[in-house]
Amino acid sequence: MPYSKIPNATIKRLSLYRKQLRRLISEDREVVQSQELADSLGLTSTQIRKDLSYFGKFGCRKKGYDVNLLLANLRKIMGVATDNKLCLFGCGNLGNALLGYKGFEQRGFSIEAIFDTDLNKIGKFFHGKRCYSVNQAKEVIKRKNIKIAIIAVPDETVDEILEIIILSGIKSILNFTQRHLQLPGGIMARSVDFTDKLELLSYFSHTK
Amino acid sequence: MPYSKIPNATIKRLSLYRKQLRRLISEDREVVQSQELADSLGLTSTQIRKDLSYFGKFGCRKKGYDVNLLLANLRKIMGVATDNKLCLFGCGNLGNALLGYKGFEQRGFSIEAIFDTDLNKIGKFFHGKRCYSVNQAKEVIKRKNIKIAIIAVPDETVDEILEIIILSGIKSILNFTQRHLQLPGGIMARSVDFTDKLELLSYFSHTK
DNA sequence: CAAATATTGTGATTATATTCACAATATAAA
DNA sequence: TTTATATTGTGAATATAATCACAATATTTG
């Protein structure tokens, strides 16, 4: 069962499982069944068991899954290092909201550098972190060994920033602009766009 | 071809198409081919043509699609009113970033009311909008005829807020918390979670 | 006007993902 | 200890989505 044959849809769900398992642990739960996990995530129990089966056998028949053990296994499977370093491009409203977001640390991510083009921001501190010029990006990213970049700049400047990011050797990008990124091979990006979801909601409320 | 038989994956892409068409219009483009549209969105031309074919014939062989016409058709198909009214629950970092986000207006959405539980915030103005108590939510939402709610409160308070939202008659929810929402029938929610995407990026950079 | 061509639109095919149905089996009960 | 039972794990079946291959046809060219 090589990783490459694992359904993409399965991989996307793994972090959902981790999230729910963390919640259960915070409630001092020790064991959970696929059915309960499914209910709390809006999935089916079969789907969860099948997903897990691609990677091995983690449950105990008749009892369920040891919550801590399963989480540990998923962490190993996903290879999420505990020190995933991020850098942030763009220190506006959204950038600052991200800086204030506590979910990163909980999940083993931390924003280690922030960049902007605005001379009024460069050198200043945001949420305790110094803002660098984008011109320093390459050097800072290499020095701090950062692997993932977040783009939170205005749509218009995304091309320019993308070029800098790629030159810095970054291979993984989380994109908050509305633009679809044109990427060279070997670089992976995911986009976050909630207005798409709003339109979807609007569509369904209209057609139902 | 009843709407119910249209692939879900197709529907999710419709707003991508709209987004790209708006961009083309802003660049004074009149016509676009499925191939170009596909390239700019990272899809295939066949997929775009097939998607559109579920709703009718909008192109012109040999030329392509009239950008304005196609956008107008998609708008009709999706039933996106030009005055989709939103309300926002939670006036923290994230809530304020959303208030400052210009993409809403561009897409025909507008935040018409904001709510919080914090007495220090109630009555104050954020981005020019008065913050109401969540106790007033039902009344305000009914009066302003708001159809969609955004949840941007801390995870711990989501159950309480969800109850208020449902009692207010809201049927569509955009959820920014990490929690999966347990919803009664007839209510639809979409969740925005970028840490999931970070983990996915981390997974792929690790396994590749 | 006829031929060549580019592009759409779509039935058929293939690939991907989900669900079903049930064997395997650890645990609890008798 | 034996039997009953609940739950996992999984091959097979089904459903969903993407891609292929090409017919249809509007436009351009000769």
pLDDT tens digits along B54-93: 999 999 999 999 999 999 999 999 887 667 899 999 998 8
Task: With respect to residue A208, please indicate whether it lies within any of the assigned structural domains.
Answer: no
Q: Are A94 and A119 in contact (CB under 8 A)?
A: no
Q: How far apart are CA A99 and CA B127, in angstroms?
A: 20
Question: In a 3-state reduction of DSSP, which class is residue A31?
Answer: strand
The DSSP letter of residue A180 is: P
Question: In a 3-state reduction of DSSP, which class is residue A24?
Answer: helix
Let me know whether A63 and A125 are in one domain: no
Q: What angle do CA A32, A33, A34 make, to 5 degrees?
A: 125
Q: Which of A48, A77, A106 is the last residue of a domain?
A: A77
What six digits make up the tokens of A12? 């996307």
* Interchain contact, A198 vs B84, CB within 8 Å: yes
Pick from A19, A172, A194: CB nearest B174? A194
Q: How far apart are CA A155 and CA A157, in angstroms?
A: 6
pLDDT at A207: 66
Let me know whether B103 and B33 are in one domain: no
Let me know whether B68 and B90 are in one domain: no
Q: How far apart are CA A103 and CA A87, in angstroms?
A: 15
The set of strand C positions with any atom below 7 Å of a protein CB reads: 5-11, 16-21, 24-28
pLDDT at A2: 45
* Interchain contact, A80 vs B41, CB within 8 Å: no
* Interchain contact, B93 vs A101, CB within 8 Å: yes
Q: What is the CATH number of the domain that holds B153?
A: 3.40.50.720
Residues 2-61 of chain B within 7 A of strand C, judged by CB, are 33-35, 45-46, 49-50, 52-53, 57-61
Candidates B201, B182, B205, B179; CA nearest to B192 is: B179
Over the stretch A84-128, which tens digit does the pLDDT of each residue have?
899 999 998 889 889 988 788 888 899 999 999 999 999 999 999
The domain total for chain B is 2
Q: How does B143-158 read in b/e, with b if 16+ C-beta sit within 10 Å?
A: eeebbbbbbbbeeeeb
pLDDT(A1) > 50? no
- Structural domain span for residue B11: 3-77
Residue B122 Cα distances to A130, B38, B86, B113, angstroms:
32, 46, 18, 12
Contacts of B94 (CB under 8 A, 6+ apart): A97, A100, A101, B152, B176
Let me know whether B176 and B142 are in one domain: yes
pLDDT(A71) > 90? yes
- Provide the chain B residues 131-190 that lie in CB contact (below 8 A) with chain A: 147-148, 171-174, 176, 178, 180, 182, 188, 190
Over the stretch B90-117, which tens digit does the pLDDT of each residue have?
998 889 889 988 788 888 899 999 999 9
The CB density around residue A159, as the number of other CB atoms within 10 Å, is 11
Let me know whether A144 and A176 are in one domain: yes
Q: What is the CATH number of the domain that holds A68?
A: 1.10.10.10
At B31, give phi and psi (nearest 5°). -135, 150
Cα R_g (chain A), whole angstroms: 20
Distance from the Cα of A7 to chain B's closest Cα (Å) equals 13
Residue given tokens 């007033």 in the structure block:
B136
Q: Label residue B2 by pLDDT band (50, 70, 90).
A: very low
* Enclosing H/E stretch for A115: strand A109-116
Distance from the Cα of A5 to chain B's closest Cα (Å) equals 12
**D8 nearest neighbour residue (CA to C1'):** A61
